[in-house]
Amino acid sequence: MIMIIAVAGFIAISFAVWWLHKHLVIVTVCGTSMFPTYRDGDRLLVRRISPGRVRRGHVVVLANDMIGVAQPPYVIKRVLAVPGDPVPKAAIPSLRSARDVVVPEGRLVLVGDNRAHSRDSRQSGYFASESLLGVAVTRLPHATSAENAPPAVRMVETPKAGMQPVHLVERYPRPRS
């Protein structure tokens, strides 16, 4: 009987870990483009969803498609328009000359909450919805000490370039010692 309970418990825990890994990601905010909603160093719980489920007003995390040196691998922005919405040409200078009347399929219009310090659709136009990682669900509590708080970007020694930032997204919180 104890063996059956142990096996059932193991299966339940394994399923829970698999489900969490498949559906949730923890992301550390790097930068001020979403201030005051999110601050540099905030940790967000992000739910993976398909691009078709994104709605206007959602805060999304997606792979950074913008060309540039030392860009973070992911960006966090607010959705201003989704496919089928009217193109917000008045608010987005880079789309004023666009021939589209509505946002095309597979594209999103994204902006940072801190418009003065955000590189977003106003400069880059549409973002590809296929780059979507997920939607921010909630901000996680800050660690009680700086020792337990994970860095926003980890630095790793590389043979040719010295110290380089390499990590923005963490799948799991760091274990407490």
Answer whether 75's CB lies under 8 Å from 66's CB: yes
pLDDT digits (tens, 9 = 90+) for 72-86: 788 999 999 999 999
Strand-strand pairing, 107-111 and 154-158: unpaired
DSSP assignment string, 51-87:
GGG--TT-EEEEE--S--TT--SEEEEEEEE-TTSBP
The pLDDT value recorded for residue 108 is 96
Is 80 exceeded by the pLDDT of residue 166? Answer: no
The pLDDT value recorded for residue 76 is 95
Please state the pTM of the whole predicted model.
0.72
Residues 6+ positions from 18 with CB-CB distance below 8 Å:
none
The pLDDT value recorded for residue 66 is 65
pLDDT digits (tens, 9 = 90+) for 123-164: 989 999 999 999 999 999 876 544 444 444 444 444 444 444
Active site residue 33: yes
Domain boundaries of the chain, sorted by first residue: 25-142+160-170
Out of 33, 118, 121, 129, the active site residue is 33
Out of 14, 22, 50, 77, the active site residue is 77
Active site residue 160: no
The pLDDT value recorded for residue 94 is 92
Query: Region 11-33: what's the mean pLDDT?
Result: 89
Amino acid identity of residue 19, one-letter, is: W
**Strand, helix or coil at 146?**
coil
User: Which CATH number is 25-142+160-170 given?
Assistant: 2.10.109.10
